[in-house]
């Protein structure tokens, strides 16, 4: 997503959470019914919020019914761009800037243009950029199009607990790293830092005796935590000053993150090159030189994690997703060698 945020008078970072909340549903109650091939999911591999949608779409096997468009890792004040595509245009939507789809829905769209966004291909208009609801709807509204063996990422009996854990992850970790990085005063930064590591300590304690956050299978809560952990050492530890410990120095969380990274559908979506390019180039107020770090060493992501000893079944009664589709693979050399 873009950083549609401001700071309070004491320098605390506040994220703008006013999204386009129209939903694509099985009954079409918002005017956008499920139709294979009608919608396009627009993402950027660099963005943790978009990365969630990439993972969930892949785990559920929705590639044939929901196409995907990849923006480049950087953007300007106008919006995300399709500079990875020939001619700098999305081949399906025919646009150069994602803002064009936002303006089609809401003329002169006044807010930050964010990813992920789902675009209605016939009209060229954004349907929704409500990142939290998008992945939940992929799990609950798109069920008729799930692949055989798709996991239950949002099982009904566990939804209350998933929601509770996911909310704390969002406020204290997903958004907590940004609260550190964009703090406008020393006091605001130190408060944000303490909140973040209090939450990470809580997660370490929770995960010390169980393989996954809720129940014995991967759920939406794990997807939401993973995308922040994957960016912790390459970006947040230095760039956002979340430097009490590196992820690799937090034994439980590091093992948990490696476990997920080595699970098909997770690590095969992570592009460390684009992640670093995005944060270190776009955030010119934090990193005015635009120099992108060469490290860290990524080989540790493939080391044994030992989490199998805690039990758990990654996909429950389901199966892993198949190999990543041609055209959707992370470029060679942009990640650790992955298990496809």
DSSP state letters, 240-285: T---SS-GGGSHHHHHHHHHHHTSTTTGGG--HHHHHHIIIII-TT
Residue 64 phi, psi dihedral angles, 5° rounding:
-80, -15
Within 8 A by CB and 6+ apart from 99, the residues are 78, 79, 109, 113
Q: Is 330 helix (H, G, I), strand (E, B) or coil?
A: coil
Residue 72 phi, psi dihedral angles, 5° rounding:
-70, 175
How far are the Cα atoms of 78, 159, 195 from residue 162, in angstroms, in the given order? 35, 5, 21
Per-residue pLDDT of the chain (340 residues; tens, 9 = 90+): 544 445 556 899 998 888 999 999 999 999 999 999 999 999 999 999 999 999 999 999 999 999 999 999 998 888 999 999 999 999 999 999 999 999 999 999 999 999 999 999 999 999 999 999 999 999 999 999 999 999 999 999 999 999 999 999 999 999 999 999 999 999 999 999 999 999 999 999 999 999 999 999 999 999 999 999 999 999 999 999 999 999 999 999 999 999 999 999 999 999 999 999 999 999 999 999 999 999 999 999 999 999 999 999 999 999 999 999 999 999 999 998 644 4
Kindly report the CATH number that applies to the domain delimited by 5-145: 3.40.30.10
- Evaluate whether 63 touches 57 at the Cβ level (below 8 Å): yes
How far apart CA 211 and CA 257 sit, in angstroms, is 11
Q: What angle do CA 246, 251, 254 make, to 5 degrees?
A: 65
Beta bridge partners of 5: 15
pLDDT (0 to 100) of residue 102: 98
* Alpha carbon distance, N-terminus to C-terminus of the chain: 27
Within 8 A by CB and 6+ apart from 172, the residues are 195, 196, 198, 199
Q: Where are the domains of the chain?
A: 5-145, 156-310
Residue 124 per-residue DSSP state: T
Q: Which architecture characterizes domain 156-310 according to CATH?
A: Up-down Bundle (1.20)
The whole-model pTM stands at: 0.96
- Evaluate whether 58 touches 269 at the Cβ level (below 8 Å): yes
Residue 296: is the preceding peptide bond cis (ω within 30°)? yes
The response to whether 254 counts as a known ligand-binding position is no
pLDDT (0 to 100) of residue 9: 62
Which of 128, 173, 151, 167 is CA-nearest to residue 218?
151
pLDDT (0 to 100) of residue 338: 46
Q: Which helix (H) or strand (E) holds 14?
A: strand 13-15
What is the set of active-site residues?
A: 47, 178
Q: Is 163 helix (H, G, I), strand (E, B) or coil?
A: helix
How far apart CA 331 and CA 30 sit, in angstroms, is 37
How far apart CA 178 and CA 39 sit, in angstroms, is 30
Residue 172 per-residue DSSP state: I
How far apart CA 233 and CA 309 sit, in angstroms, is 26
């Amino acid at each position: 997503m873009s950083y549609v945020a401001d700071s309070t008078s004491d320098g605390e970072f506040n994220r703008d959470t006013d999204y386009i909340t129209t939903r694509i549903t099985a009954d079409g109650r918002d005017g956008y019914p499920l139709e294979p091939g009608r919608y396009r999911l627009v993402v950027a591999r660099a963005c943790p919020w978009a990365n969630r949608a990439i993972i969930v779409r892949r785990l559920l096997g929705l590639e044939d019914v929901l196409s995907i468009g990849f923006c480049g890792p950087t953007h300007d004040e106008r919006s995300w761009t399709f500079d990875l595509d020939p001619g700098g245009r999305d081949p399906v939507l025919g646009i150069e800037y994602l803002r064009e789809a936002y303006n089609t829905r809401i003329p002169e769209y006044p807010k930050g243009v964010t990813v992920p966004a789902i675009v209605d291909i016939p009209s060229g208009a954004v349907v929704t950029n409500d990142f939290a609801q998008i992945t939940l709807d992929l799990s609950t509204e798109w069920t008729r199009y799930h692949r055989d063996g798709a996991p239950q990422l949002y099982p009904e009996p566990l939804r209350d607990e998933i929601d509770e854990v996911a909310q704390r992850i969002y406020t204290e970790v997903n958004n907590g790293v940004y609260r550190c990085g964009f703090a406008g005063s020393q006091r605001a930064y130190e408060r944000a830092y303490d909140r973040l590591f209090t939450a990470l300590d809580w997660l370490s304690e929770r995960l010390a005796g169980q393989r996954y956050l809720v129940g014995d299978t991967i759920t939406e809560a794990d997807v939401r935590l993973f995308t922040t952990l994957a960016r912790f050492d390459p970006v947040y530890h230095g760039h956002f000053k979340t430097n009490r410990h590196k992820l690799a120095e937090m034994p439980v969380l590091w093992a948990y993150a490696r476990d997920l990274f080595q699970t098909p559908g997770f690590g095969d979506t992570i592009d460390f090159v684009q992640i670093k390019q995005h944060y270190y180039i776009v955030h010119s107020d934090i990193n005015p030189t635009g120099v992108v770090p060469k490290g860290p060493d990524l080989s540790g992501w493939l080391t044994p994690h030992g989490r199998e000893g805690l039990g758990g079944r990654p996909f429950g009664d389901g199966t892993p997703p198949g190999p990543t589709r041609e055209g959707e693979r992370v470029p060679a050399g942009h990640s650790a060698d992955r298990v496809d």
